[in-house]
Structures are given as structure tokens and as C-alpha cells.
């Protein structure tokens, strides 16, 4: 039996010869992050957004706010994949989207039920406390590299 050393290829000359640019490397790394289930989820969000934009003028105010919420969720999900490809972690977009979602959920609730003044004030206080907690959580408790799980629980 003859044992030989494994054949190793130096990658640097190949990369210089083929002139891979950062865009192609980015697209290759994004492709590894997209499973079939996640791709179908993004496709469903995109279809809902396109349908909502197409019918936006005919929708009621709560449904218009819901379309805006879905646009925020879609942009957050796409940007997480970009952050994963560039930085290695994808949690910073969630820190931005959680307070926006809290605000939009409250606006949708208030537009749907047309509450009395006391319920309106209570909903606004709860929303502002939730947003303050989310910002406190993002800056002090769970840094931007971590998933804001405590703020998501409040949501």
C-alpha cells in the first residue's frame, strides 16, 4: 500500500484569474441561506404585498396599515439574509422592526374597533411602554448581535 498526501489546491490564484466580484460571492452565500420553506414564505409575503399595493386605494384604513406591516416584515426578512451574508449574524433588522410592529399593531387595533377614550388612552400607554421596553432591550439588555427575544415576547 502506498500512502500519498492529499492533493490541495491553492484557491487564491483561481480567484484572481476568474475575477469573482463581491456581488457573485454575496449571491452564492445568500443561496445557501434560502431553504425551500423560507423561499415559499418570502414568495407568499411578496404576493400579498403585490396584491395589497394593486388594491391599495380600495382598501380600508386597517387593511392599508396591515399591508404596510407586511412590507416591513418582508423587508426585515430579506435584510436578515443580507446581514447573515455580510456580517455573519442577521438579528439587527429585528431590533428595528419590533417597535414598528408594536406601533402598527396598535394603530390597526384602534382603527378596527373605534374605542372609547379610556381604551384609546390605555392602548396608547401600552404601546408606548412596549416601544420603550423594546428600545431599552435593544440598547442595554440584548445587543444587536442577539435576537431581541424579550422584546418579541412583549410584542
Q: What is the average per-residue pLDDT within 17-46?
A: 66
State pLDDT tens for residues 81-113. Answer: 888 888 888 888 989 999 999 999 999 999 998
Instruction: Give the mean pLDDT of the chain.
Output: 81
Burial class (CB in 10 A: 0-12, 13-18, 19+), 98: buried
Would you state the pLDDT for residue 69? 95
pLDDT digits (tens, 9 = 90+) for 109-142: 999 988 899 999 999 999 999 999 999 988 888 8
Tell me the whole-structure pTM to 2 decimals. Answer: 0.73
Amino acid at each position: 500500500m502506498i500512502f500519498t498526501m492529499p492533493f490541495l489546491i491553492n484557491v487564491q490564484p483561481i480567484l484572481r484569474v476568474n475575477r469573482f466580484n463581491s456581488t457573485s460571492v454575496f449571491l452564492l452565500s445568500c443561496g445557501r441561506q434560502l431553504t425551500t420553506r423560507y423561499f415559499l414564505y418570502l414568495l407568499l409575503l411578496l404576493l400579498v404585498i403585490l396584491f395589497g399595493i394593486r388594491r391599495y386605494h380600495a382598501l380600508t384604513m386597517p387593511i392599508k396599515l396591515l399591508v404596510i406591516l407586511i412590507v416591513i416584515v418582508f423587508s426585515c426578512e430579506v435584510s436578515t439574509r443580507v446581514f447573515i451574508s455580510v456580517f455573519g449574524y442577521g438579528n439587527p433588522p429585528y431590533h428595528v422592526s419590533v417597535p414598528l410592529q408594536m406601533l402598527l399593531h396598535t394603530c390597526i387595533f384602534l382603527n378596527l374597533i373605534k374605542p372609547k377614550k379610556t381604551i384609546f388612552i390605555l392602548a396608547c400607554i401600552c404601546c408606548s411602554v412596549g416601544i420603550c421596553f423594546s428600545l431599552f432591550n435593544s440598547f442595554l439588555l440584548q445587543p444587536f448581535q442577539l435576537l431581541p427575544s424579550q422584546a418579541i415576547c412583549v410584542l
